[in-house]
Amino acid sequence: MYEEIIKLSLSGCAVKDYGNLKFEDLPDDEPFGSTKRPRAVGLANKQVADAVQRVKNDGHTCVMLGGDHSLAIGSIHGHAACRPELKVVWVDAHADINTPLTSPTGNIHGQPMSYLIHELCAKIPHMPSFSWIKPCIAAKDIVYIGLRDVDPEEHYILKHLGIKTFSMTEVDSLGIAKVMEQTCDYISSKIKNPIHLSYDIDALDPSVAPATGTPVIGGLTYREGIYITEYLCQTGLLSAIDLVEVNPKQAKREEEVHWTANAAVDLVLGCFGRVREG
Ligand SMILES: CN[C@](CCCC[B-](O)(O)O)(CCN1CCCCC1)C(=O)O
Ligand SMILES: [Mn+2]
Ligand SMILES: [Mn+2]
Ligand SMILES: [Mn+2]
């Protein structure tokens, strides 16, 4: 991922590398109910939240390179501590809004949004090393793009809270340009709020980004994925970006790692002004 930093530097952006966060291995991190590795994930996200808050206090646009999507807990929490009026654009095949009680797998990468949303606060049990997390966004502050693998309980939550979603059906029916126009009208209707873009690489079709943990066919083309970043960049409102779920270990062969990493690099470059016209 250092390629990102080099390329961003080359493209004229002032880049400050805040370094890698070191997450200690917790051997006896027993599940909390069905929720796996609660202490490791809770402690890691506290570090992420503090780091993102440092970056935002320094006045930068923050880029958090994951790791899995559970890290969005800390990233959005830390960002909201500086910019409480932020809006979230969540680009993903999945909604990642299971609560610990609805999750079918107990994997926290499928749950991050549930810890952050005010309206779900009462549905979240107290968990070890999660007590520092305070809900910081409202359902109306969120837009999803790229959904195509949503659990029934997640679907109920999305509908019940009236959260704005553009699934792959809407991407097909409207086209990505209309989706982005409607996304920005929805989040910036009255005032221009800072945008937190949380980009799960599995939003892209597995033919483009195969090296990821939960690939789902029928995803965004490379061009649609890049268009999202170019469109949000030109709003001038991008305040923090998560680029997560790139996982070389999931590649079947070396070239799949390159395809996935190259797509991730290009997505970040799109967020910082790289346009395809040259
Ligand atoms: C859709 N929900 C899943 C996937 C979460 C993906 C997280 B991401 O960060 O990569 O987006 C999957 C649940 N299904 C697994 C297969 C059997 C049916 C349930 C979950 O584990 O909650
Ligand atoms: Mn994942
Ligand atoms: Mn995700
Ligand atoms: Mn996903």
Q: Is 58 a catalytic residue?
A: no
| DSSP labels, 60-81 | PPEEEE-SSGGGHHHHHHHHHH
Q: Is the CB–ligand 1 distance for residue 214 below 6 Å?
A: yes
Average pLDDT of the residues of the chain: 96
Q: Give the tens place of pLDDT for each residue, 5-28.
A: 777 777 788 999 999 999 988 999
Predicted local confidence at residue 25, as pLDDT: 87
Confidence (pLDDT) at 1: 60
Segment 221-251, tens digit of pLDDT: 999 999 999 999 999 999 999 999 999 999 9
Q: Residue 46 and residue 48: Cα distance in Å, rounded?
A: 5
CB-ligand 1 contact for 114 (6 Å cutoff): no
Q: What is the pLDDT of residues 134-147, one digit of tens each?
A: 999 999 999 999 99
Confidence label for 189 from pLDDT (cuts 50, 70 and 90): confident
Cβ–Cβ under 8 Å, residues 150 and 133 = no
Rounded mean pLDDT, 59-74: 97
ipTM of model = 0.97
Q: Specify the pLDDT at position 190.
A: 79
Catalytic residue status for 170: no
224 within ligand 1 shell (Cβ under 6 A): no
Ligand 1 closest atom vs CA 214: 10
Catalytic residue chosen out of the listed positions 4, 68, 96, 170: 96
Is residue 200 flagged as an active site residue?
yes
Higher pLDDT among residues 33 and 9, named by residue: 33
Strands 238-244 and 62-65: parallel
Rounded CA separation 102/54 (Å):
33
213: pLDDT strictly greater than 90: yes
Is-catalytic flag, 96? yes
Q: How many other CB atoms sit within 10 Å of the CB of residue 81?
A: 16
More confident site: 11 or 270? 270
245 is catalytic: yes
Ligand nearest to the CA of 202: 4
Task: Read off the pLDDT band of 128 (50, 70, 90).
Answer: confident
**Ligand 1 atom showing the smallest separation from residue 112 Cα:** 9
Of the residues 109, 154, 242, 266, which is catalytic?
109
8 Cα to the center of ligand 1, angstroms: 32
